[in-house]
Amino acid sequence: MAKKKTPKMNQTTDYEQIQRNIQKAKGNPNKNIHHKKNNSNYGGYNSAAKKAEQQKMEEQHEKMPLWMKITLGVMLVALLVMVFLLNGPLKENILASHITSIISGASCLVVYYSQRWSPRSQSTFMKILGFVLILLGIIFIATGCYGVYLTLTA
């Protein structure tokens, strides 16, 4: 004789039973993702190796030294002072304009040199920008020095 199914204490509707069966058929969506939690390396990438790789990348790109930060600040202040002086009391002074050209060329070269401590990889754009900075630095310094020479000898 076949057994009769006894009703459970918690009677559910047909809709709830269908949804429960669908969920059982799908399985647990959170299954096997516990390795992503709490830095566990169960069946996944070794987190210690990952941290070591990040630390290695940080060591390759050292921080900008203090003397370089001071040099960049001094160049910025010098440029601002010369620009304000050229727009004010030294408006007609030719020697001041040539000195400003030399300072701006030196600033271009200092900014190019400061890229050495940049943590970014050298993309094509950064290489082109570096070339432009070197070119402008050399041109500004050369024309400024030549202008100072002509001004002082005349």
Residue with tokens 């002072």: 81
| 56: in domain | no
**Within-domain flag for 50:** no
The verdict on residue 3 lying in a domain is: no
pLDDT value of position 73:
93
Inter-helix orientation angle 124-153/94-114, to 10°: 150
The pTM assigned to this predicted structure is 0.58
Per-residue confidence (pLDDT) for residue 6, from 0 to 100: 56
**72 located within any domain:** yes
Give the chain's domain count: 1
Residue 92 in any domain: the answer is yes
Query: Does residue 138 belong to any structural domain of this protein?
Result: yes
Q: What is the structure's pLDDT at 46?
A: 60
State which residues form the domain around 140. Answer: 62-153
Question: What SS3 class is residue 42?
Answer: coil
DSSP string across 80-120: HHHHHHHHTTTTT-HHHHHHHHHHHHHHHHHHHHHGGG--S
Both ends of the chain: CA-CA distance in Å? 125
Per-residue pLDDT tens digits for 78-104: 999 998 988 888 888 889 899 999 999
Residue 98 lies in a domain: yes
Structure tokens at 21: 């069966």
CB atoms within 10 A of CB 73: 10
> Could you tell me if residue 83 is inside a domain?
yes
Rounded CA separation 74/111 (Å): 12
